[in-house]
Structure 1
Amino acid sequence: MENLISRITINPDVCHGKATVRNMRYPVEMILDLLSSGMGFQEIIEDYPALENEDILASIYYAKNKYNV
């Protein structure tokens, strides 16, 4: 799991310091919104080809640990 969480970065110069995936302009919040809207991993990756399955898993893991859900 440590490998997954290392994919999440917080950089004040990227997306106003929000948690993002691999220092790219893909906020964790956006990934979670896409999942909650019903999109599957493959659909998200098709729409955002720079993302990987592990990025989506890392976003879920980050949210789980941040909000203790």
Structure 2
Amino acid sequence: MTLSGFPRIAVDPAICGGRPVVAGTRVRVTDILAMLAGGASTAEIAADFPYLSVEDVRAALSYAAAAADHPIVFAAE
């Protein structure tokens, strides 16, 4: 099942334990983020994984940015 607002990202309990993946693959969003954090460029990732496009890599990054954007709530003292 692809995610609303992220048509290139899918979540399926039967694939990678339900972790977000690039739709139609078993490449987890976290794997792409780890490669980017390690210094790989989007073009290098797409070249190393021919079933991924540069747009797939950007979609994973966009999904991760949205997932990290949450309100921080402080408890009242």
Judge same fold: TM > 0.5, yes or no: yes
2:46·2:57 contact (CA, 8 Å) conserved in 1? no
Pairs aligned (count): 66
Q: For the aligned residues, what is the CA RMSD?
A: 1.3
After TM superposition, where is structure 1 displaced by more than 6 Å over at least 4 residues in a row?
A: none
Gap runs ≥5 in structure 1: none
Any residues of structure 2 matched to 1:8-19 within 5 Å, and which? 8-19=9-20
Higher helix share: 1
TM-score calculated relative to the size of structure 2: 0.80
In structure 2, the residue matched to 1:65 is 66
Instruction: Indicate the structure (1 or 2) with the bigger Cα radius of gyration.
Output: 2
Structure 2 CA distance, aligned partners of 1:60 and 1:41? 10
Fraction of identical pairs, as percent: 33
Q: Which has the higher contact order (CA 8 A, sep 6+)?
A: 1
Any residues of structure 2 matched to 1:2-41 within 5 Å, and which? 2=5, 5-41=6-42
Residues 18-68 of structure 1: per-residue CA shift (max 9 Å, x gap): 000013100000000000000011111111110001111110110111111
- SS of corresponding position for 1:12: coil
